[in-house]
Amino acid sequence: MANDKLGTAIVITSGKGGVGKTTTSANIGTGLAMLGYSVVVLDADIGLRNLDVVMGLENRIVYDLVDVVEKNCRLKQALIRDKRQEKLYLLPAAQTKDKTAVKPEQMVELINELKKHHDYIIIDSPAGIEQGFQYSIAGADRAIIVTTPEISAVRDADRVIGILEANELNDPELILNRIRPDMVRRGDMMNTEDVLDILAIDLIGIVPDDESIVISTNKGEPIVIDEKALAGKAYRNIVRRIVGEEVEFLNLEQNEESKFSKVLKLIFGK
């Protein structure tokens, strides 16, 4: 037992669907592996599996989370090694089962087992606050909440923060996703300060709404490996903060002319 690691399990959650949980999970997992950590990304969205396609590993799935829990296979057999990162593994969700297939106690047992062999377990939680959410937070040590600056997403995030605290997952951290600097500057989108003012939790990252995320997802390559994309940098910063580094936040909402608008002005001569 002396050689055993004691990894950290982090659940990525949001309440509302479609705010970017799966993309965030894939990027954080990949980013941590890029720093040399051994990582398992766990798709807890049974019945609506997607982390596999976002990571480009959909063709390699043989066993899944439910197979492991039901002991149809050994844990190691279900872990799929990533294409690029040596120390990154995916544990895919089952696609043909539903969320009653896994109980919170089983999840705790599974995650404790994974923590013995890996530094980080990233759990991609399903949307909603029902059964799937309950088992996905069961084994987690930390929680990261993803929201967009929209009224509905922030409302659901607030609800989830309350539930996490009731489940003794204190001090969740926030990723504000899909910020559009142009809209923030016009006053047509809530900015980081507005959202933090309402949710009153610590910020761990801000990610711009970046077309290159769509493109990279199309290809099954997390944006975090893209050196040029701003969203890639945003995720690399988040990962460094997760491991305890102090990293300055990207300035996506400055009031004066941004670099981007300066470039635009250069191009269009306005």
Tokens of 76: 């190691």
By the rule CB under 8 A, 190 interacts with another protein? yes
| Token duo for residue 150 | 């929209």
187 binds another protein (CB under 8 A): yes
Nearer to another protein, 109 or 194 (CB): 194
Residue with tokens 């999840």: 107
Do β-strands 88-91 and 120-124 pair in parallel, antiparallel, or remain unpaired?
Answer: unpaired
CA–CA separation, 170 and 236 (whole Å): 24
- Judged by CB under 8 A, the stretch of 107-115, 124-132, 192-200, 222-230 that binds another protein is 192-200
Number of other CB atoms surrounding residue 234 within 10 Å: 24
Q: How far apart are the first and last CA of the chain?
A: 66
**How many whole angstroms separate alpha carbon 264 and alpha carbon 253?**
16
Cα(130)–Cα(222) distance, integer angstroms? 28
CB under 8 A: which stretch of 31-39, 75-83, 117-125, 148-156 binds another protein?
148-156
Q: Would you call 142 helix, strand, or coil by DSSP? A: strand
Site residue total, another protein (CB under 8 A):
19
Binding-site member from 113, 141, 158, 182 for another protein (CB under 8 A):
158
Q: Which residues ranging from 57 to 96 are in contact with another protein (CB under 8 A)?
A: none
Interaction between residue 159 and another protein (CB under 8 A) = yes
Nearer to another protein, 140 or 157 (CB): 157
Residue closer to another protein, measured from CB, 30 or 148: 148
Q: For residue 200, state whether it binds another protein (rule: CB under 8 A).
A: yes
| Sole window of 12-20, 27-35, 149-157, 170-178 interacting with another protein (rule: CB under 8 A) | 149-157
Interaction between residue 165 and another protein (CB under 8 A): no
Query: Contact between 188 and another protein (CB under 8 A)?
Result: yes
146: which strand partners?
Answer: 175
Helices (H), 35-174: 51-55, 65-69, 75-78, 104-117, 131-138, 151-166
The site for another protein (CB under 8 A) is made up of 149-151, 154-155, 158-159, 162, 184, 186-191, 194, 197-198, 200
